Structure 1
Amino acid sequence: MTPVLATVSPVDGRVYVERPLDGPAAVEEALARASRAFRDWRSTPLERRQELLSRAVDAMVARAPAIAEELTWQMGRPVAQTPGEMRGFEERARFMIAAAPSALAPVEPAPKPGFTRFVRREPVGVVAVVAPWNYPYLTSVNAVIPALAAGNAVILKHSHQTPLCAERYAEAFAEAGLPEGVFQYLHLDHADTERLVADPRVGFVCFTGSVAGGRAVRGALSGRFVGMGLELGGKDPAYVRADADLAHAVENLVDGSFFNSGQSCCGIERIYVHARLHDAFVDAFVETTRGYRLGNPLDAGTTLGPMVRAQAADFVRGQVADALRDGARALVDPAGFPAEAPGTPYMAPQVLVGVDHSMRVMREESFGPVVGIMKVGSDEEAVALMNDSDYGLTASVWTRDEEAALALGDRIETGTVYMNRCDYLDPALAWTGVKDSGIGCTLSPLGYEQLTRPKSFHLRTTS
């Protein structure tokens, strides 16, 4: 009997999607097709590739309402918020398509008499993209569109929680007229995913997921000299300086902590507040949090949906329980959120004070609706605490002083520094991380560098 992928919806616990899993034979067929398709696709003029990809984006945008609703069913984000995923998808896709000509243009050194010299950027071949469920289009688009624009073929393996996302890509590319085999998707288990990425016909691997998953990918590639981009976890900090705009900081940091039920690699998980603002900040933060509505994500009035599965919610509840046992205080009463139900994905947001870095909730990635707040007395103390982490994806500084933000940003160990905003990706800027947050870079013109390889041409003229 063929193994089956079954997507259990966090909305009501029912199976929402079932698909047969592809096995080793399907992996072999997909790689063979991709390798053949790559030979012609890489020679297709860039303008033509841009045209086809733009048509595919048009097709995805035309399906946006249906995509948003099925996304809610698959991973639980409120239907009032899922349309934003497609707006972000479109923004990133169109930016990367438009950036391709300059990013892929040959690099020409200063003229040298008697020589023609330049560096050309060539596609790496077949790119394997392994994408997660939490932002299934926003994470995958970072790799899929620029990989194709650069002339590569792509095989997408999407999360078992969001398999329809891979199928929607395929439908849009087919409608746009993308040549057969240039884009494919596979529904795979872990073993066959490792078989895919380890195959010598794969020229680059883009993985977004957990640190453990990143280690598994790296292990699968250990015997090959092949590039990889690993976008992994985060424990992203915020520092609210004494001169911050209090109302602005509260509004945005509550959203940064609890949007998507906290299931964001760049969501806010720990906040350090200068002593001068600490008490007022905490009071306003808790009041704003209590205004959230936890419930059925298909209800337009819901602002906080279920987590992706009960086990994920129970993990976060365990972090909270351990922190309370060790002396932390919880400031939000779950009774104010009637949909809260232990043992289910429906978890009320929680704000903790009295926390310190000995507690799991301040060190482990929570990936859920909980945030710890600590009082600090100086910029130096805040930076030391922000850097006291195995992760380094983003960090935000809340201040009216741009020079201070820049000076602090130079000292924070992170991939992106924000001032007065958080939990956002600008496609014009490189998306990258340090430490256990991963390696590699997507988005911006720099995102094309890992999806291509430089090839130098050194031509000498003879008389």
Structure 2
Amino acid sequence: MDVRPQLYVGGEWLTSGSGGEFKTTDPATGEVLGVVPEAGRAEVDTAVEAARAALDDPAWRDMPPSDRAKLLWRIAELIDEYADELAEMETRDQGQLIGVARGINVPGTAEQFRYFAGWVTKIEGTTAPLSIPGTFHYTLREPVGVCALITPWNFPLMIAAFKLAPALACGNSVIIKPAEQTPLTTYRLAQICEQAGVPAGVVNFLTGGPEVGRMLTNHPGVDKVSFTGSTSVGREIIAASAGNLKRVTLELGGKAPSIVTYDADIDAAVGGNLVGSFFNSGQVCAAYSRLYVDRRRVDEFVTKVSAGVGEMRLGPGIEPESTLGPVVSEHELQRIDGLVRNAVTDGAEVVTGGGRAGGALSGGNFFEPTVLTNVTHGMEIATKEIFGPVMPVIAYDDPEELASHANDTEYGLAASVWTKDLATAHRMAAQIKAGSVYVNLPPILDPAAAWGGYKASGWGKEMGHYAIDAYTQVKAVWVGV
């Protein structure tokens, strides 16, 4: 694969950027997949100017809602048409399993555009019965304006759709900046938008590292930033938004607790937590990365979950036989390895896995699927986001302490509870401070369901009607009658 992405600004494709260029590689092999232009200040400024001009272009501003809905639907159709190409590109660039790319990622991306195509004709204002005589009051929902969409490397295509589909549905213009590790499928998505007939300047595409993101978040011509990534960068974006009081949506880090009660169906809990902890090699913001298991069931749980891990086949995501792929970069591999080594130093025990894969996989970013026991609640491995294929198991004695342990973290993105007792399920769901609580389920998403975190896991919600709120602003109109 030799892909030569270009920047897309104001309807024009640019072969180079003033910031230079960088390479994107296959995390399974280290193979260079493409040389990518790095946007500089000139391209950022031009993209913002183009996006702002597009807001006043009658081709976009005055497009009938039904036509805008058809445009989003057309994007979805083109994603379906190029599904095989997109899936392979996502797997090569990010490392995820080809089955995940084909069966979940690409179809889920198309579904985002279909779902929000349905919203376009239903973005409504309201009237209010005022107590002031001789007045009529109504509201309009209008686009926020120029939106910078900054996406992460774990699900680059689908998360771009989380942001782009509602932004376009609401009539905004956008600048998409994917993570520098995984730019390729977002580049193809920009091409698809052009092919679908999105007017020039409405969708702009820039590639580059953190500095490009900073230029966008600090730019006075950007009205909104939607970011998915680390909490530390999220804090930087909040500070940068103060200049022109940008609106900000943030989906940040997580440290999801998974609680397995004494009465849980252990086999279901094992299967669900294997998915919840190891899906996409653990590179999921909602990954179940601290498991609280009733001490009376912990040996059974660990035995069965370790057997499940033993059946995983670690290998390149492009190979259909693989059931666990690489992590995205050498940097992430070393960070995960350091967390596991520190856990062992702190007293944790490695049941299976525990280090970098060797042999034929030594040239890639492969970390063995790892189960840790003898983990205590205060250890670093139980408090810090891992973002890798590691499952720390914490035995608990007192169920009354579970909610306080689950909430004893700066994060609050997701959590899960495994129980047969309905009262326990609802009580724990109410007590846990997280944006999503899954009962007897691994973490799943749907375009109609709100997604976003509490505390340091983010600001605002994506998907569902909450995304319409995020990408519109309300104007009140008063009329003397």
| Structure-2-length-normalised TM-score | 0.91
Is residue 2:29 matched to residue 1:12? yes
Does the 8 Å contact 1:96/1:445 carry over to 2?
A: no
- Which aligned segments of 4 or more residues in structure 1 are displaced greater than 4 angstroms? 110-114, 333-344
Aligned AA (2:204): Q
Note the alpha carbon deviations across 1:162-219, whole angstroms, 9 max, x for none: 2112221122111111111111101133333222222222111001111122122223
Aligned AA (2:101): T
Q: Partners of 1:240 and 1:2 in 2: how far apart?
A: 50
Q: Partners of 1:432 and 1:213 in 2: how far apart?
A: 16
Does the 8 Å contact 1:341/1:347 carry over to 2?
A: no
Does the 8 Å contact 1:310/1:343 carry over to 2?
A: no
- Among residues 70, 75, 80, which one is paired with 1:51 in the alignment? 70
Is residue 2:85 matched to residue 1:66? yes
Structure 1 residue 331: Cα displacement: 0.6
Q: In the superposition, relative to structure 1, how do residues 80 and 106 fare at CA in structure 2: closer, same or farther (>3 Å)?
A: same
Q: Which stretches in structure 2 are left out of the alignment for 5+ residues?
A: 1-17
Q: Partners of 1:162 and 1:181 in 2: how far apart?
A: 23
- Report sequence identity in percent: 35
Does the 8 Å contact 2:94/2:154 carry over to 1?
A: yes
Q: Partners of 2:243 and 2:163 in 1: how far apart?
A: 23
Is residue 2:329 matched to residue 1:309? yes
| Aligned-CA RMSD value | 2.0
Per the alignment, in what secondary structure is the counterpart of residue 447 of structure 1? helix
Higher mean C-alpha displacement, 19-28 vs 298-307: 19-28
Alignment of 1:183-194 (within 5 A): 183-194=203-214
Match of 1:217 in 2: 237
- Among residues 296, 303, 324, which one is paired with 2:344 in the alignment? 324
Aligned AA (1:24): R
Does the 8 Å contact 1:340/1:348 carry over to 2?
A: no
Does the 8 Å contact 2:277/2:288 carry over to 1?
A: yes
Per the alignment, in what secondary structure is the counterpart of residue 156 of structure 1? strand
Q: Partners of 2:396 and 2:432 in 1: how far apart?
A: 16
Does the 8 Å contact 1:314/1:342 carry over to 2?
A: no
Higher mean C-alpha displacement, 261-270 vs 452-461: 452-461
Does the 8 Å contact 1:100/1:445 carry over to 2?
A: no
Does the 8 Å contact 1:57/1:172 carry over to 2?
A: no
Q: Partners of 2:374 and 2:176 in 1: how far apart?
A: 44
Q: In the superposition, relative to structure 1, how do residues 280 and 121 fare at CA in structure 2: closer, same or farther (>3 Å)?
A: same
Match of 2:53 in 1: 36
Per the alignment, in what secondary structure is the counterpart of residue 248 of structure 2? strand
Q: Partners of 1:316 and 1:416 in 2: how far apart?
A: 25
Q: Partners of 2:47 and 2:444 in 1: how far apart?
A: 34
Alignment of 1:22-421 (within 5 A): 22-39=39-56, 40=58, 41-83=60-102, 84-102=104-122, 104-110=123-129, 114-333=134-353, 344-421=364-441
Q: Partners of 1:271 and 1:172 in 2: how far apart?
A: 41
Structure 1 residue 264: Cα displacement: 0.6
| Structure-1-length-normalised TM-score | 0.95
Aligned AA (1:73): R
Aligned AA (2:29): D
Q: In the superposition, relative to structure 1, how do residues 335 and 456 fare at CA in structure 2: closer, same or farther (>3 Å)?
A: closer
Note the alpha carbon deviations across 1:111-166, whole angstroms, 9 max, x for none: 87743322211101111100111011221111111001101001101111221122
Does the 8 Å contact 1:334/1:340 carry over to 2?
A: no
Higher mean C-alpha displacement, 92-101 vs 432-441: 92-101
Does the 8 Å contact 1:383/1:408 carry over to 2?
A: yes
Aligned AA (2:230): S
Does the 8 Å contact 2:355/2:367 carry over to 1?
A: no
Does the 8 Å contact 1:294/1:340 carry over to 2?
A: no
- Aligned residues between the structures: 460
Q: Partners of 2:224 and 2:277 in 1: how far apart?
A: 33
